[in-house]
Chain A
Amino acid sequence: MQDIYITGGAMTRFTRHPGVKAPELAQQAILRALDDAGVAKGEVRAIYCANVLGGMILGQLAVRDLGFDGIPVYNVENACASGATAVHLARHALLAQQYDTVLVFGIEQLTALGGGTIPLQRNDHKTDLYATAGMVLPAVYAMRGTRFLHERDAAPADLAAVAVKNRFHGSLNEFAQQRSETTVEEVLASRMIAEPLTLLQCCPSQVDGAAAVVLSRRRGGHGRPVRVLSSAVVSGKRERAHDDILDAEITARAARQAYERAGVAPSEVDVVELHDAFTIAELLYYEALGLAAPGEAVPLLRSGATRLGGRVPVNPSGGLLAKGHPLGATGVAQMVELLWQLQGRAGARQVEGARIGLAQCTGGGIAGVDHAASSVHLLEVAA
Chain B
Amino acid sequence: MTPPSFALWSDAPEPSLLASRDLQTRELLFPAVPPDSPLASRHETVAIASVGAVYSFTVIHPAPKSGEAPYALCYVDFPGPVRLFGRLQGAARPAIGEPVAVRRDERFGYVFESVRR
Contact = CB atoms under 8 A, between A and B. Distances in A.
Interface of A: 122, 125-126, 128-135, 138-139, 142-147, 150, 191-197, 239-243, 245, 367
A241 B83 contact: yes
Given A146-B58, A194-B58, A195-B59, A125 B80 contact: no
Interface in B65-117: 71, 73-75, 77, 80-83, 85-87, 96, 107-109, 111
Contacts, number: 90
Which of B55, B58, B59, B60 has the largest count of A CB atoms less than 10 A from its CB?
Answer: B58
Q: Is the interface of B mostly helix, strand, loop or mixed?
A: strand
A240 B8 CA distance: 20
The 6 closest A-B pairs by CB, nearest first: A142-B58, A241-B81, A132-B1, A147-B56, A143-B56, A195-B59
A134 B28 contact: no
Interface of B: 1-2, 4, 6, 8, 27-28, 30-31, 34, 55-61, 71, 73-75, 77, 80-83, 85-87, 96, 107-109, 111
A192 B61 contact: yes
A143 B2 contact: no
B83 A128 contact: no
Task: Identify which of A128, A131, A133, A145 gathers the most chain B CB atoms within 10 Å of its CB.
Answer: A133
Nearest to B84: A130
A132 B109 contact: yes
B77 A139 contact: no
Nearest to A146: B56
Given A128-B2, A129-B31, A143-B73, A134 B57 contact: no
Contacts of B55: 147, 245
A26 B35 CA distance: 46
Scoring A132, A135, A367 by chain B CB atoms within 10 A of each residue's CB, the highest score goes to: A132
24 contacts: A125-B4, A125-B31, A128-B4, A129-B1, A131-B1, A132-B1, A132-B109, A133-B73, A134-B73, A138-B60, A139-B73, A143-B56, A144-B56, A146-B58, A191-B61, A192-B59, A193-B61, A194-B59, A194-B60, A239-B83, A241-B27, A241-B82, A241-B83, A245-B56
B6 A125 contact: yes
Given A143-B73, A143-B75, A150 B96 contact: yes
A145 B73 CA distance: 13
B28 A241 contact: yes
Contacts of B8: 129
